[in-house]
């Protein structure tokens, strides 16, 4: 009986089994998906392929357009994600949903060169590579469509990644690549679902054990739709680098939470100083005020950064803030108790405030994930 359900070897030549899955993360890309589908259809003639659009519940109805394509062509699939956001997570889900031996990641904004896909397939098929990267920074490649600010940021991030994580490829920040799915599945448990730099995460997690070839391509200009990057992507990138430097002992989300907590510590100490030193409030009351102000600051920053993929909106913000106060109540009691004990022994306001504030970090992170920004 067990032998009857064991999967056989992956043989793309079998009827109906694609050799290549093209994974396309989307958000507000309804004007692009049909154009990209037509380009893939023309480029991948002679290759058994499918395209998996992973849509983060786009307000513009991108998923509806994709489903319209899927009704006409079974090679088109749509994964519509509710309550989750983020390019890395979308890519991971899309690749793991595939049965093809090779998986490519390409943006829907038409900035990547889909004409390179057959060359990528050939390199994986021959065994020369397990990962093929579309590179803007090797001879023949170009990122001239970047404005000066974005070009500088991209080059800086590339240098930081290469030096900090000992990465040798020229364009670890590329969002255009193809990988053997079996190798990806081995690495998947180590990858972060937050952030935007999925290739950097893959290469860093592989620790040099992934045969990689880069091929040049010209990065084009965005035609329609909404960029998946925002002003917080730099902190996402920094958090990913730090996570990899610690061998993933701590998660990217926890590092972002801790960075927000660092700003909250400054807010806490400033509020404590104002209440205790300027308004002469008793220390215990001043410490409680500082903690309350810092908790409010932390909630706002975490909602827009750490839990950006589960961001609370509208009335849910108020509800979330009240719940955040509630679940952090135990941490606050420990905060004030420890700080008061330290101040009683050594009346240095900033030292006591620091000791109290540090008590609540782990508790606040655990409870926030369980109750405030829980998966919906």
Note the pLDDT tens digit of each residue in 14-64: 456 899 999 999 999 999 999 999 999 999 999 999 999 999 999 999 999
Instruction: Output 315-321 pairs: Cβ under 8 A, ≥24 positions apart.
Output: 320/372, 320/373, 321/296
Tokens of 113: 């060169």
Task: Give the global pTM.
Answer: 0.73
Output DSSP code: residue 267. Answer: H
Q: Please state, in angstroms and as integers, the Cα–Cα distance from residue 16 to each residue in 22, 24, 50, 72, following that order.
A: 16, 21, 10, 16
The tens digit of pLDDT for each residue in 210-243 reads: 999 999 999 887 655 445 544 556 667 777 787 7
Residue 119's SS3 state is helix
Strand residues in the chain grouped as ranges (E): 20-26, 49-55, 76-80, 102-105, 131-135, 177-180, 212-216
String of DSSP letters for 278-318 = IS---HHHHHHHHHHHHHHHHHHHHHHTTTGGG---THHHH
Q: What is the mean pLDDT of residues 287-305?
A: 90
The tens digit of pLDDT for each residue in 185-207 reads: 999 999 988 777 899 999 999 98
Q: What is the mean pLDDT of residues 290-313?
A: 88
Backbone angles phi, psi at 109, to 5 degrees: -85, 5
Identify which of 223, 214, 227 has the alpha carbon closest to the alpha carbon of residue 141: 214
């Amino acid at each position: 009986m067990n032998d009857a359900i064991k999967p056989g070897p992956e043989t793309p030549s079998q009827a109906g089994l694609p050799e290549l899955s093209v994974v396309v993360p989307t958000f507000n890309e309804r004007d692009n998906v049909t154009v990209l589908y037509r380009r893939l259809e023309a480029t991948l003639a002679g290759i058994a392929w499918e395209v998996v659009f992973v849509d983060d519940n786009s307000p513009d109805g991108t998923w509806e357009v994709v489903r319209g394509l899927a009704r006409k062509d079974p090679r088109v699939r749509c994964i519509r994600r509710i309550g989750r956001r983020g390019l890395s997570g979308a890519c991971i889900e899309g690749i793991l949903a595939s049965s093809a031996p090779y998986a490519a990641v390409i943006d829907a904004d038409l900035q990547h060169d889909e004409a390179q896909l057959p060359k990528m397939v050939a390199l994986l098929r021959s065994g020369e590579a397990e990962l093929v990267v579309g590179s803007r920074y090797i001879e023949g490649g170009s990122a001239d469509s970047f404005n000066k600010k974005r070009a500088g940021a991209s080059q800086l991030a590339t240098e930081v990644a290469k030096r900090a994580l000992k990465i040798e490829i020229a364009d670890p920040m590329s969002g255009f690549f193809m990988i053997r799915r079996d190798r990806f599945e081995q690495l998947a448990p180590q990858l972060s679902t937050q952030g935007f730099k999925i290739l950097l995460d893959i290469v860093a997690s592989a620790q040099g054990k992934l045969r990689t070839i880069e091929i040049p391509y010209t990065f084009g200009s965005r035609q329609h739709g909404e960029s998946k990057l925002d002003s917080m992507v730099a902190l996402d990138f920094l958090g990913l680098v730090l996570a990899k430097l610690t061998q993933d002992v701590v998660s990217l989300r926890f590092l972002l939470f801790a960075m927000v907590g660092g700003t909250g510590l400054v807010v806490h100490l400033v509020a404590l100083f104002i209440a205790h030193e300027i308004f002469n409030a008793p220390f215990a009351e001043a410490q409680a005020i500082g903690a309350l102000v810092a908790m409010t600051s932390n909630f706002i920053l975490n909602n827009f950064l750490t839990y950006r993929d589960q961001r609370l909106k509208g009335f849910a913000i108020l509800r979330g803030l009240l719940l955040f106060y509630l679940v952090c109540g135990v941490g606050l009691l420990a905060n004030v108790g420890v700080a008061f004990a330290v101040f009683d022994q050594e009346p240095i306001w900033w030292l006591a405030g620091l000791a109290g504030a540090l008590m609540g970090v782990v508790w606040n992170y655990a409870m926030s994930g369980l109750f405030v920004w829980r998966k919906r």
